[in-house]
């Protein structure tokens, strides 16, 4: 797979959602501007298929479906809201190539803006399958908004850790993940801005570098020290940190609190850091489906799939 273009913008689509149950007009406007930029980029390429998805903010919001319809009209993109299970499956699909020989299970966490997904994965031979998953309605944006800047205080940070850990223990009690981890052969994997930031800080990078982070096996003691370093910086220090910056300064510590809860419930000596996730899972799925389609016998000269325009 060769990446020919990439585009990313922080739009905070779920801003205000926890308080109102709705996507705000400002947040929707920001998201549509970003999606229009994506659509313009796509028009410059010869396309076979386009896959565009919306996740937790649109799942939660009472006007989520209306926003998706509006975005489709404004951009021409075939945007759809995917269920939490499909989101977990796509993250699994993108990250399982990072598993190593001897890994029989993987625990994958994805700390997002509006939710946190945990995927419990079985690996048999070269095939990975989803044993179970949980989607917590707790993400870096929802936590930052709900509690203001409480994660910048020790008491507030610990209260978030306690809350998330309690929800994770219920998931653990169903799947006995902790017991499996103690038996060995279980890899802890993380994908999201939180864990990649912790890796960047632990490696003392002068600026964030994906090639140095993606697939990095980080000692959890080093990640814990990076967390302590980030907490000590405070809000202004985070704004100027080369691996954080002003757009993400308010969201790093809520993400670190979720990570700390994961570490509390499922202690591990190391964590594999993935700078990949939903997008890469979507690409891999499309490539696999295209490969499968090309191997099928063709009975007519006409293809069912038409290029996106």
Domain 84-280 coded CATH 3.30.420.150? yes
High-pLDDT (> 90) share of the chain, %: 68
Copy the structure tokens of residue 45.
């390429």
Look up the CATH number of domain 17-82: 3.30.420.40
Residue 126 exposure: Cα atoms within 13 Å on the Cβ side: 0
Residue length of the chain: 309
Domains 17-82 and 84-280 in one fold: yes
- Contact (Cβ atoms closer than 8 angstroms) between residue 178 and residue 95: no
* 309 pLDDT more than 80: no
* 305 pLDDT more than 60: no
Spell out the domain ranges in the chain. 17-82, 84-280
Q: What is the mean pLDDT of the chain?
A: 89
Per-residue pLDDT at 148: 59
Reported as a pLDDT band with limits 50, 70 and 90, residue 293 is low
This prediction's pTM = 0.86
Per-residue pLDDT at 294: 62
3-state secondary structure of 190: strand
Query: How many degrees, rounded to 5, is the angle at CA 142 between CA 137 and CA 148?
Result: 140
Residues 6+ apart with CB under 8 A from 215: 98, 272, 273, 274
Q: Give the Cα separation of 259 and 164 in Å (integer).
A: 9
Reported as a pLDDT band with limits 50, 70 and 90, residue 113 is confident
In this structure, is the dihedral angle defined by the CA atoms of residues 14, 18, 22 and 27, taken in order, positive or negative? negative
* 49 pLDDT more than 90: no
Reported as a pLDDT band with limits 50, 70 and 90, residue 125 is confident
Give the pLDDT confidence of 145-190 residue by residue, as tens digits.
875 557 999 999 999 999 999 999 999 999 999 999 999 999 999 9
Per-residue pLDDT at 147: 57
Per-residue pLDDT at 12: 86
């Amino acid at each position: 797979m060769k990446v020919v273009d990439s585009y990313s913008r922080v739009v905070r689509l779920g801003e205000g959602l926890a308080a109102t149950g709705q996507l705000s007009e400002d947040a929707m406007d920001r998201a549509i501007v970003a999606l229009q930029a994506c659509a313009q980029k796509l028009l410059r390429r010869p396309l076979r298929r386009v896959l565009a998805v919306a996740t937790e903010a649109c799942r939660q919001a009472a006007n989520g479906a209306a926003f998706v319809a509006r975005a489709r009209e404004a951009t021409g993109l075939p945007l759809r809201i995917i269920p939490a299970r499909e989101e977990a499956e796509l993250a699994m699909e993108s990250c399982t190539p990072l598993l190593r020989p001897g890994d029989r299970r993987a625990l994958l966490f994805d700390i997002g803006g509006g939710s946190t997904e945990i995927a419990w994965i079985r690996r048999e031979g070269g095939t990975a399958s989803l044993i179970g998953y949980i989607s917590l309605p707790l993400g870096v944006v929802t936590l930052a908004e709900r509690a203001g800047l409480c994660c910048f205080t020790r008491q507030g940070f610990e209260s978030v850790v306690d809350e998330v850990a309690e929800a994770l223990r219920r998931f653990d009690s169903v799947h006995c993940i902790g017991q499996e981890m103690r038996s060995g052969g279980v890899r802890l994997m993380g994908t999201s801005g939180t864990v990649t930031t912790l890796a960047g800080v632990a490696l003392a990078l002068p600026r964030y570098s994906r090639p140095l982070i993606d697939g990095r096996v980080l000692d959890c003691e080093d990640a814990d020290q990076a967390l302590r370093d980030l907490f000590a910086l405070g809000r202004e220090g985070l704004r100027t940190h080369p691996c954080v910056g002003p757009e993400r300064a308010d969201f790093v510590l809520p993400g670190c609190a979720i990570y700390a809860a994961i570490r509390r419930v499922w202690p591990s000596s190391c964590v594999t850091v993935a700078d990949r996730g939903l997008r890469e899972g979507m690409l891999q799925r499309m490539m696999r489906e295209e490969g499968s389609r090309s191997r099928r016998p063709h009975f007519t000269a006409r293809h069912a799939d038409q290029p996106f325009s």
